Amino acid sequence: MKTTFIKIKIFLITTCLISTIWSCKAQTNIVNIIERCDSHPLNRDNGSLYLKDINNLYAPYLGTWKWTEGNREFTLTLLKQTKYHYNQGIDNYYEDRIVGYYTYKENGVELINTSNDNLIDSYNIKVDYRFNCRSKLSGLIKDIAKNKRYLSWFEIISPTQIRFKGKEEEDGRIQKEGMPPPPVVYVGNSFPLDMVLTKQ
């Protein structure tokens, strides 16, 4: 009888221990978004890593921003995506990120409008930002009229103004892996790569 009791006790302890280990393994490993470069691999085996905007650092950038000069007008809308699942190649993780869309007009004529973008599709998205290793909001913006990608970043000037700066990516043509080369890149850029935008 005593042997049976000990076996049952060992079985229960083992079951509890295994359950605890499994529940810990299934939990999300939450990392502050600004610590993304502190040795946190993005290719976790089960997508348990979550780069979270714990301190709500994205908040000052969200909303609609506008730049005008003479007959030109650039309007940018930035939105926060919470716990977006990035699963491409060997990378499998979740993150809070900023996405959005923009319009560009000259003489009142709309030349670019990306407001119909599918903001869930990582490849086709035209506006995609996150905090980099130096705690600056940086990312990519695509100039669909010129078929180019620009590395860009933001600097907060005041609660109602941000500075947008960009530079053309080396061989910054928009091309999907496995697809034929994109058309020839057009000279120049559609919109300025240094603008001060005002919150609307």
pLDDT, block means (10 residues), the chain with 200 residues:
55 46 57 75 71 93 97 97 87 91 97 92 83 83 90 95 91 58 74 97
> What single-letter amino acid sits at 109?
V
Q: Encoding tokens for residue 99? A: 């996405």
pLDDT attached to residue 124: 74
- The domain in which residue 195 lies consists of 2-199
pLDDT attached to residue 13: 54
Percent of the chain whose predicted confidence (pLDDT) is above 90:
49
Chain Cα centroid distance, residue 62: 13
Chain Cα centroid distance, residue 5: 56
Chain Cα centroid distance, residue 160: 22
Q: How many domains does the chain have?
A: 1
Whole-model pTM: value is: 0.76
pLDDT attached to residue 35: 81
